[in-house]
Structure formats: C-alpha cells, structure tokens
Chain A
Amino acid sequence: MPTSDTLIADYLERLRRASVDLPAGSRAELMQDIGAHLAEKVDATASEVQVRRVLDELGTPEEIAAVAADQSGARPSAGAGGGGGGGLAYDTATVLVLLLGGFVIPVLGWIAGVVMLWNGPRWDARHKWAGTLIWPAAIVFTLMVLTADHRASGHLGVVVVIGLAVVVAGLVAGFGYLLRGARSSR
C-alpha cells in the first residue's frame, strides 16, 4: 500500500526535522519509539484512512518534538546553552557556602549552605543527606576526640593530631563527594 507507506515516511521525516535541536540520543530514541508505535498500530493491510487516524492520534510531529525538547530541557544532563556553566557556578558556590559559611556567619552560614544544597537540582537524596551531615559528623567526632583525651592523657598530643587529621580528611572527602555528584549530573 504505497500511499500509507508514503504517509508514514512523510510523518517520520517531519519528526526528524522537527527534532533537530534535541540531544542526539534523545532524538534517536524518539524516532525509534514513534517508529515502533507505528509498526504496532499499522499492519500491512491497513487502509489509508486507518493510517491517517493513527497519525492524527499521535499528534503532529512538531507537537511531539516540542514536548520532547521540553522534557529533555528538564533533564539536568541536557546542558543546553549556558546552562552547564550556571550549574557549575551554583554547585561550587553551594559547596563553598556549606564548607565555609559557618566560619563567616556561625550556624546561619551553614544553614544557608544546607538550603542551597537541598535546592540544588543536581544532587540526589543521598548526596543531600551526606552534605547535610558532614559538619555535624565532624563536630561530633571532634568532641569524641577531645573527651577521649582525659582517659588517654599520656598520649594527648598524638590523639588530638590524629583526630584532627581524620576530621580534615573526612571534610575533604565529603565535599569532594558532593562536587563529583554534581559533576556527574551536569
């Protein structure tokens, strides 16, 4: 049925042109999905009217491409335009405020960092909780080290040095983890 084949080929060609701005992977997947949909809905015996109905039901290629652009724009990894750079600035600022904000304005600075972290679109729940708990964990650990001093007073200096080294290493590892998490989603 040449007319039906032509209708479908024209439709797919319009979709291919309308989706030219999509990321290559999303575009290929969309073409594949719509192709599979048509293969499912239109068999060899379908009349021209049936094919037209199926195509009408799908919506115009331009409409589908617009929704696809919208959905992939909502994806953090799409990185359209200058979005990637803005993401890097926000992520770095968040980690810096979280790490150092408490030194500038005690407690409030840290809370600002936590708010930025939870508003950040590129961290998942695990990163958000880890980021929130880094400072509390460092402080609790420091307090534990200081209390341990009384019992092991003979080695006071060594305990404090090792303890502080562990705290600093923990902070560095924690904030590195956050930056890597954000980078992998950009």
Chain B
Amino acid sequence: MTELRRGTIAFCVLALLDERERYAVELVDALTASQALAAGAGTIYPLLSRLRDEKLVASTWQESPTGPPRRYYRLTASGRRSLEAFRGEWAQFRDAVDQLMTPGTS
C-alpha cells in the first residue's frame, strides 16, 4: 500500500495546488488531515523538490504576516497538464479496481 500511496501522493499535491498556491506546511496539514500521507510529513519536502525540478510546480519565497518567510508553491502549465492526464487515468483505474474488488460485478 505504501508504494501505491507514494505513487499517487505527488498528484494529490498537484491537485491541492490546482485550487490555489500554498506553502509547504499548508500542504502537509491538508494531506495529514485527509490521511493521504502514509509516511512522515517531512517526506513531502523531497517530493516538492522533485516536482519543482520536473517543472510541474514553481515556488517563490514570500513574507509571512506572523513568522519567518514561507516558500509558496504553485502549479505550472505542465503540472496542470500532468494533473489532468492523471485525473483521467485515475478514474479509469479506480473503476476497474472497484469492479474487481466488488464480488459479483465482474
């Protein structure tokens, strides 16, 4: 299950950034709240670095009203395309697995 989660978590991050730009702690909190993150919250940072290297997200440091500066992440055009492709594939995959997991439907 860990592998499955790890493979999809990047797209959960892209989906969260599709709504609006967020800083990393916000992403961590959203993922922890939905229990989508199987590993420690700190593992989100290497993932965000990879997404930025692959130009699926971009980031900028911004002042915080309360504390130290925050690195904000936003979706790039290529990240949005990648997310749209995943949405389609995921829906198909989910339906296929649902069908196999529910006795009597296949």
Contact = CB atoms under 8 A, between A and B. Distances in A.
A67 B43 contact: yes
Nearest to A40: B25
Interface string B39-53: 111110111111001
Interface in B10-62: 23-25, 28, 32, 39-43, 45-50, 53
A67 B41 contact: no
A39 B47 CA distance: 20
A164 interface: no
B70 A72 contact: no
Interface string A74-93: 11010000000000000000
A77 B49 CA distance: 13
Contact of A68 (B23, B24, B28, B46): B46
Interface residues of A, number: 26
B68 interface: yes
Contacts of A37: 24-25, 28, 41-42, 45
Interface residues of B, number: 23
B42 A39 contact: no
Nearest to A68: B46
Contacts of A39: 67-68
Contacts of B71: 33, 36
A177 B64 CA distance: 44
Given A37-B24, A40-B68, A41-B25, A29 B49 contact: yes
Contacts of A30: 45-46, 49
Contacts of A34: 42, 45
A64 B47 CA distance: 10
A63 B53 contact: no
Contacts of B53: 75, 77
A42 to B, nearest CB: 10
26 contacts: A30-B49, A34-B45, A36-B69, A36-B70, A37-B24, A37-B28, A37-B41, A40-B23, A40-B25, A40-B70, A41-B25, A57-B41, A58-B40, A58-B42, A59-B42, A59-B43, A61-B42, A63-B40, A64-B40, A64-B46, A67-B43, A67-B47, A68-B46, A70-B46, A72-B50, A75-B53
Interface of A: 26, 29-30, 33-34, 36-37, 39-41, 43, 57-61, 63-64, 67-68, 70-72, 74-75, 77
